[in-house]
Amino acid sequence: MKHITLDTTNPIWDRFFTVAPLVLVGTRDPDGALDLAPKHMAMPMGWQNYFGFVCAPSHSTCSNIARTGEFTVSFPKPSQVLYSSLAASPRSDGHKPVLDLYETFPASQVDGEFIEDAYLFLECRHHRTYDDFGPNCLITGEIVAAHAEAGFIRSSERDSAELLAENPLLAYVSPGRFASIERTNAFPFPADMKK
């Protein structure tokens, strides 16, 4: 198998595909309006209730979290990929008109909103922002409340492959593609594997 050494004087991430979740991070603008922003560099921060995502200090998401100290995270379903994409639309007079098309509902523990029909909802208080990733930052939050659609909850009485076949997940295949994950296999962990 032949390997190609990539030039790391430029970002390497557009040279190949990687898989990540796609989420919508919700914050409040200074005028109280909802701001939703799609993020794919997003994941749990360890095994406890912490979540993080990559952003840019120039984005409203970053300044809104610095000001309010909280944010929400909605995990859209594959059927919501268009809405998720449109959330990245540019602002017009300081407002994203496309957000008026979203049906939302309020969070219970933070001042924020979620998109209707997503499958997982996280309410986060700002934990820490790490500003030393070139032009980007890593924003982390502690999950203070979480909600999920019942059909997406794992249980010992239900086969995991069947659950995912009936309730597919949206994945962002970077750069610029998406997938609906409905067929999965159990990972072959060693017998003595621990977290």
123 contacts: CB under 8 Å, gap ≥ 6 = 70, 72, 107, 108, 109, 110, 112, 143, 144, 145, 146
Nearest to 52 by CA among 118, 171, 136: 136
Share of the chain above pLDDT 90, in %: 78
Burial call 151-170: b when 16+ CB within 10 Å, e when fewer: ebeeeeeeeeeeebeebbbb
Stated pTM of the model: 0.92
pLDDT of 39 > 90? The answer is yes
Please list the alpha-helical segments (H only) found in 16-159: 60-68, 81-86
Does the structural domain 21-151 have CATH classification 3.40.190.170?
no
Residue spans of the domains in the chain: they are: 21-151
Rounded to whole angstroms, how far apart are CA atoms 159 and 100?
39
Tens digit of pLDDT for each residue in 66-107?
999 999 999 999 998 887 887 777 776 767 777 777 899 999
Q: Which pair of structure tokens corresponds to residue 50?
A: 């912490």
Tens digit of pLDDT for each residue in 172-186?
999 999 999 999 888
Phi-psi region of 94 (alpha: psi -120 to 50; beta: other; left: phi over 0): left
Rounded to whole angstroms, how far apart are CA atoms 6 and 126?
36
CA 98 to chain centre: 19
Rounded to whole angstroms, how far apart are CA atoms 59 and 90?
11
